[in-house]
Amino acid sequence: MLIIGPPGSGKGTQAERISERLGVVAISTGDIFRANVKGETPLGIEAKKYMDAGDFVPDSVTNNMVRDRLSQSDVENGFLLDGYPRTTAQVDYLDQILAEGEQELDVVLQLTADDEELVARLLGRAKETGRSDDNETVIRHRLDLYHEQTEAVVAKYAERGILTQVDGIGGIDEVTDRVLTAIESAKAV
């Protein structure tokens, strides 16, 4: 399963809750990057160069990290991937990884939310946490990048008939209920 959504849509929170309820491991590419950088693995050292420069980590490095993570034994009973794939090239690479393991995606869950609501939510979070990088200009840029990058990814999964969209606005429990209902409906198809 994949979870896709704009910054501030609650992907991380919902991924944790889905993981708990369904008994599958949640895999965040952000966590993979941080673990590899902290562990000073060859991939982490490579990724850090780009991260320190404020650039996107290239697909080749990201793909290798995901391939390595999906080869671990804790994903045998399923997984929830958060933050990957972000490009159609990454979709193709993930397809290849899954085919090699004789697996396929059951559902791609997209959390949707109005940009203005997300900007307000992220500005509030920045104020609470003191994150200086979360100002309105940066937030709007991140949302624009999300829309640019993921439209083609979402379209690919919609064509395959495995995309399920869920409104990500509301209380955490309310969104979790909508997400779990959507997953059950998608699995029944």
Nearest to 26 by CA among 71, 69, 68: 69
Residue ranges in the chain assigned as alpha helix (H): 11-22, 29-38, 42-52, 59-70, 88-100, 115-129, 136-160, 172-188
Q: Which residues are catalytic?
A: 11, 86, 125, 131, 142
The answer to the question of whether 13 is labelled as a binding residue is: yes
The answer to the question of whether 86 is labelled as a binding residue is: yes
The answer to the question of whether 101 is labelled as a binding residue is: no
The answer to the question of whether 87 is labelled as a binding residue is: no
The answer to the question of whether 149 is labelled as a binding residue is: no
The answer to the question of whether 125 is labelled as a binding residue is: yes
For 30, other C-beta atoms within 10 Å of its C-beta total 11
Left (φ > 0), alpha (ψ -120 to 50) or beta: where does 54 sit? left
The answer to the question of whether 33 is labelled as a binding residue is: no
Contact 39, 175 (CB under 8 A): no
The answer to the question of whether 41 is labelled as a binding residue is: no
Contact 25, 70 (CB under 8 A): no
* Binding residue positions for ATP: 8-13, 125, 170
Residues belonging to the binding site are 8-13, 29, 34, 55-57, 83-86, 90, 125, 131, 142, 170
Question: Binding site for AMP, residues?
Answer: 29, 34, 55-57, 83-86, 90, 131, 142
